[in-house]
Structure 1
C-alpha cells in the first residue's frame, strides 16, 4: 500500500486517527516525542492533540514552536492553570473523541516512536480485524545512563488478548505502543480518581474486543524520568490497588473481573499489613464489593477479635475501621 507524504495530508478532512499526548516539565524530551509523530507516513489523515499543563520549564515554549512548524497537524491546548495529569489527559481525550476520529494513539511527552510506519501498521491490523479493539507492540527501554535495553518491565503472557488475563496479571501494555478504537464516549466517574489511567482505560476497552500484540519494536520508553519511578514500592502498590478498587466500582457488571481484582486488593492488604494506614485503606473502599472484600481480608483467621453483636451493630464501613484498629494494635505488632 502506498504511503502518502505528510505534506499531502488535507488539513480540512477529519483525521482517521488522533494522537493523545499530555506533557508537563519535559523540555528535554518533548521535541523528540512530537517529531516522532510528525515523521509518521500514512495513507490516512492524523492529528496530534497536545495538552501542555503549565510547565515551569521550556516545555510550553517548545510546544508552541512546533505548533507553528506543523500548524495543520497539531492542536495545542495550553492550560492556564496546572490541572494535573488525570484531568489534563481527560481534557485531551475529549478533544480526540469529538474530532470524529476512528482511532486514538497514545504517546506521552517523554517517550517517542521509532518506526515511521508504526501508525499505518496498527491501523491496517485494526481495519482488517474488527473483533480487536486495541493494538500494542514491543518497545525498547532507554535507561537513564543512555543505554538501550530489551523490555525488562513487562512480559506479555500467553492468552494476553482477554480482559480476564489483563485483570489477573496487571498492565503488560506500554503506553507509547497503543492504538485503539475511539469507542469510549464517556469515562465513568471513577476514572477521574484513578492514579493509573492507562490500565483503567485498557480494562474499559477490553469490554468491547480483544487486544493484539505486534512483535515489532516501534517505540522507546524512557525509564526513570517520570514521577511514578521515584516513588516507593509501597506507594506504587497502594496506587495500583486503588486503581483496582476503582475499576471494580466502575465495572461491577463483570463478576469475574470483580473477583480477580478483589483478590489482588486482598493480597495487597496482607502483604503490606504493617505499613498500610486507615487513611490509605479508605482509598480502597470504593464500593460495596470492595468494602466487603476488605472486611473479609481483615477478619480472615482473626474472627475472635470481634463478636457477633458488634458485627450486627455497625455498617461494614464502620466495621472495617474497628477491625483494622484492633488488628494493628493486638495482632500485627
Structure 2
C-alpha cells in the first residue's frame, strides 16, 4: 500500500457477531488511502476468520497471544500506524461513507486544528434512537472540559499522528488523550452525524463505571498540572501505576447507584417521559454523592455557557 493518509485502529475481543457491519463501513469509505489496523485481543470466537475472509490489502491484522486490554491495544495500533492521521472505531459502530473524507478535508485545510470529531447517531436493535450534539468550535469544546461533559465519541475522532495513549490509563484513556492533545492545537467537531454508535447498556458494568470515574479524576488532575507547569507526574516519570483505592462501603453505594443510573440512561436514550428518567437519576445521585458532585459540575458548565 502506498500513500497511506490515515490509519484506522480497531481493537476486538470476541466481536464476531458485530464485526461485519463495522468492517464493511470502513472498507466502503469514499476516501480510499488508508490502512485498517485490526488488533484481535485473544478472541475465542471466529473473529479471526471473519477478518481474514475480507481479503483487502488495506487490512493489517494483528493477533495477540493473550488478552492485553483496550489501552495497550490502542498504543500498539498507534505505534504501528503509518498514516498522517489516526482514526478510531469500536466494534459494533459504523460510519457514513464520506466520514473520513470530510474529516481529512477539514484537517488539511485547517492546519491549526489537531483533532476532529463528528456528531453521532446512537442506535439499538430498533434503529437510531438519539443524536448527539457535541460543541463544535474550539472554545466551546474546551468549556466542556471544565464541566466534565462528553467531548467526543470514541468512534468519531480523527487526530494528527503526533501523540499516543498512555499505558497508565486502564480506563478513560480517551479522555486523557483529549486533554493532553488540547495543548497541541485546536479542537473541532463537525456538525454532521457521520458516526453511528451502538447503545450497549449491558456494557455499563458496575465495576467499569466505578473505575472510569476514578481514572477520570486522574485525567483532570494531570490536565491541571500540565496547565500550570507544562508537564504532569507521568511526563516526569514520577508515576508508573495509577493507584485506585476504594472502601467496601464506597463500592456498595456505587453499585446501588449504578442500578438506577442505568435506568436513567435507558429511559433518556429512548426519549421516554421526563419523569421516567429524572426520577432514577435523582435516586442515583442521592445514593452516591460523588456522582452528585460530578453532575453539579456539568450543570455549572452548562449555565456558564
TM-score over 0.5 (shorter chain): yes
Report the CA distance between 1:248 and its aligned residue: 2.4
Matches within 5 A, 1:36-55: 36-42=25-31, 45-55=33-43
Q: Select 2:161's aligned residue among 182, 199, 208.
A: 182
Output the aligned Cα RMSD.
3.2
Would you say the 8 A contact 1:194–1:246 is kept in 2? no
Larger radius of gyration: 1
Give the Cα–Cα distance (whole angstroms) in 2 for the partners of residues 141 and 194 of structure 1.
25
Report the CA distance between 1:242 and its aligned residue: 2.0
For residue 103 of structure 2, what is the aligned residue in structure 1? Answer: 122
For residue 16 of structure 1, what is the aligned residue in structure 2? Answer: 5
* Cα deviations by residue, 1:163-188 (Å, 9 ceiling, x for unpaired): 4532433323111111111111x545
Which stretches in structure 2 are left out of the alignment for 5+ residues?
232-245, 255-305
Matches within 5 A, 1:104-123: 104-113=86-95, 115-123=96-104
Establish whether residue 75 from structure 1 lines up as the match of residue 60 from structure 2: yes
Partner SS, residue 29 of structure 1: helix
Do the aligned partners of residues 156 and 256 (structure 1) sit closer, same or farther apart at CA in structure 2, a change above 3 Å counting? farther
Give the Cα–Cα distance (whole angstroms) in 2 for the partners of residues 155 and 273 of structure 1.
37
For residue 150 of structure 1, what is the aligned residue in structure 2? Answer: 130
Do the aligned partners of residues 95 and 125 (structure 1) sit closer, same or farther apart at CA in structure 2, a change above 3 Å counting? same
Q: Which has the higher contact order (CA 8 A, sep 6+)?
A: 2
- Give the number of aligned pairs: 240
Report the CA distance between 1:148 and its aligned residue: 1.3
**TM-score, structure 2 length as denominator?**
0.69
Do the aligned partners of residues 172 and 276 (structure 1) sit closer, same or farther apart at CA in structure 2, a change above 3 Å counting? same
Do the aligned partners of residues 257 and 110 (structure 1) sit closer, same or farther apart at CA in structure 2, a change above 3 Å counting? farther
Do the aligned partners of residues 155 and 274 (structure 1) sit closer, same or farther apart at CA in structure 2, a change above 3 Å counting? farther
Report the CA distance between 1:193 and its aligned residue: 3.0
